[in-house]
Structure 1
Amino acid sequence: MATLAHFVLTEDAERALANFNQPLLEKSVEYGYLTWPRKAQTRIRDRTVLDVRSGFGGHGSGFLGAGAKHFTGLDPQMDLDVDKAKNELKRVRADFGVTPREIMTLVPDVELLTGKSEDIHHGRAFDCISLYNVTEFCVVDYQPSGA
């Protein structure tokens, strides 16, 4: 199903083929990295995406599979040469089998950067900004009084 979506949801078949890597896509499905991009599909289709606090960057193939034109993952703690990643489905860190640097080689429209949002070049523009992994750090403790 993910393979079919990867090709059906893009407007550019040549680009889809250049960014297709079956083992990476299968691993992304196994780790739950296609769930969020699928939910955001109508907003990201044929658009450039910046994912702030992208973690390992594994969602990149999911965003492309959901129709995004280009994916940039940004995280201050990302180590481009370590293949440990969070398995979203099992809620554990495990060996992903490929590093973020290798993902960029395998999937040309995935760019992964170590840094913060202020490190992005000011002239750069994105059609969509995802803060999926940021929200888990936004804890609000509501009191019964509503305060």
Structure 2
Amino acid sequence: MQQKSQTPTYLRDMDFPEGKKIILFDGVCNLCNAAVQRIIQRDRQDVFLMAPLQGPTARELTRERGIDTEQVDSIILIDPGVAYYIKSDAALEIARDLKGYRWLPFLTGWIPRAVRDWVYDLVARNRYGWFGKRQDCMLPTPEIKEKFLD
């Protein structure tokens, strides 16, 4: 008897709705939660789904891709079946799909990744001290619950 895959069906790339991208974020970081709220407000084409890095969906998606969440612990963008992006690349890729922010990749994309990621890492390292930290992951309101995977 053949054993079924241990990967839950909803995590397989082929099962994600076409055209959707997944943002994995630090669910206890106030800065990250504010960014997620802004993304939801600006996601006029309904492109993004969200999952906190502390949840089972993010654990499975990062494991499948070999992403070390000890090294990248603030934002990851997954475009199922295409690629994943981390740090400043993730932020710029997200901006491409947001009303009012599409200009950002053109303005800052020419800056070398090493410089962009240095600034990104500086903010990421200090985000709890500068912006605070929650005890638990954000609970989505009923109006935006369908945007979250867990």
Q: Shorter-chain-normalised TM-score: which range? A: under 0.3
In proportion to residue count, which structure has more helix?
2
Point out the structure with the larger strand share: 1
* TM-score in terms of structure 2 length: 0.26
